[in-house]
């Protein structure tokens, strides 16, 4: 190695030493140490600073986590408060509706009470009139009271006689009705029998007419009268009426 290289290396080492010394002085001043402190003292001070920085970072992280938890708690509280507010508003609306309904019911009840009171006043007035009439009657003379009682007895006796007459008339009408119903039943029974006899007679007449028309004497054929047709509708209506009466019984 030549002289120039040695001088260059020495110069570089010298500059590095100076830079290191300046750096150590700056660090010592920043750490508030003696600029001429030893390397160990500076190292110890730096380690303490690093520990403080690490502790500060841990404290910041812990504080940040606590703040995050507090924010989450506050958010939950805000949500709960909003929910409670909504519930309170709903409850307030329900109470308002209940109040309106109650007010309306009270108004209806007042109107009903006023109407009932009016009726009671009218009834009281009527009772007062009745009491007044009774008092007037009681204040009458004994002769007039006796006359009125006799007149009342006559009216009641007349009413009783009238009821008896009405009952007797009703009984007589019921008896007449039963007789008429029995007579009508007998007539219907006889009519039914007559219908049967009429059918039998018509059937016999037809047979006789057939025999007469079958005779050989042409002169006799001309003299044989025709048999009238049977009124089936009339006979059936009579039989149906009798059948309906039988079912009713």
Q: What is the mean pLDDT of residues 133-144?
A: 67
- For residue 4, being part of any structural domain is answered with no
CB 199 within 8 A of CB 230: yes
Q: Which of 88, 122, 138 is the last residue of a domain?
A: 138
Q: Are residues 131 and 31 in the same domain?
A: yes
Structure confidence at residue 82 (pLDDT): 77
CB atoms within 10 A of CB 161: 10
- For residue 7, being part of any structural domain is answered with no
Q: Are residues 180 and 124 in the same domain?
A: no
- Domain containing 47 equals 14-138
**C-alpha span between 3 and 238 (Å, rounded):** 169
Structure tokens at 144: 């007039």
Q: Are residues 23 and 94 in the same domain?
A: yes
Enter the pTM of the model: 0.29
Q: Are residues 131 and 174 in the same domain?
A: no
Q: Are residues 32 and 115 in the same domain?
A: yes
- For residue 63, being part of any structural domain is answered with yes
CB atoms within 10 A of CB 136: 9
Structural domains of the chain, count: 2
Question: Predicted confidence band at 145 (pLDDT cuts at 50, 70, 90)?
Answer: low
Q: What is the mean pLDDT of residues 13-35?
A: 64
- For residue 5, being part of any structural domain is answered with no
- For residue 131, being part of any structural domain is answered with yes
- For residue 156, being part of any structural domain is answered with no
Q: What is the mean pLDDT of residues 54-71?
A: 86
pLDDT tens profile 169-223: 888 888 888 888 787 777 777 777 777 777 777 777 777 767 767 665 555 555 5
CB 64 within 8 A of CB 45: no
pLDDT tens profile 74-95: 888 878 777 877 887 888 888 8
**C-alpha span between 203 and 201 (Å, rounded):** 5
- For residue 148, being part of any structural domain is answered with no
What angle, rounded to 10 degrees, do the helices at 142-213 and 232-248 form?
Answer: 140
Which residue is associated with the tokens 């209806």?
A: 108
DSSP-derived 3-state class of residue 165: helix
Which position has the higher pLDDT, 15 or 162? 162
Q: Are residues 206 and 242 in the same domain?
A: yes
As a whole number of Å, the end-to-end CA separation of the chain is 160
Q: Are residues 123 and 170 in the same domain?
A: no
């Amino acid at each position: 190695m030549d002289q120039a290289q040695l001088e260059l290396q020495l110069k570089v080492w010298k500059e590095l030493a100076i830079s290191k010394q300046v750096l150590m002085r700056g660090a010592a001043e920043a750490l508030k140490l003696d600029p001429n402190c030893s390397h160990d003292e500076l190292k110890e001070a730096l380690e303490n600073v690093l520990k403080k920085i690490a502790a500060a970072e841990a404290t910041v992280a812990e504080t940040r986590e606590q703040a995050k938890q507090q924010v989450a708690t506050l958010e939950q509280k805000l949500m709960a408060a909003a929910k409670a507010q909504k519930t309170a508003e709903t409850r307030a609306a329900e109470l308002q509706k209940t109040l309106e309904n109650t007010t309306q019911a009270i108004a209806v009840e007042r109107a009903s009470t006023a109407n009932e009171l009016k009726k009671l006043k009218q009834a009281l007035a009527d009772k007062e009139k009745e009491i007044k009439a009774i008092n007037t009657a009681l204040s009458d003379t004994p002769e007039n009271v006796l006359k009125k009682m006799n007149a009342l007895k006559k009216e009641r006796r007349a009413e009783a006689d009238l009821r008896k007459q009405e009952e007797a008339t009703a009984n007589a009408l019921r008896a007449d009705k039963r007789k008429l119903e029995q007579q009508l039943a007998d007539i219907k029974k006889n009519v039914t029998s007559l219908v049967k006899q009429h059918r039998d007679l018509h059937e016999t007449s037809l047979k006789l007419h057939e025999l007469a028309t079958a005779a050989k004497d042409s002169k006799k054929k001309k003299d044989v009268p025709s048999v009238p047709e049977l009124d089936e509708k009339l006979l059936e209506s009579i039989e149906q009426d009798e059948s309906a009466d039988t079912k009713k019984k």
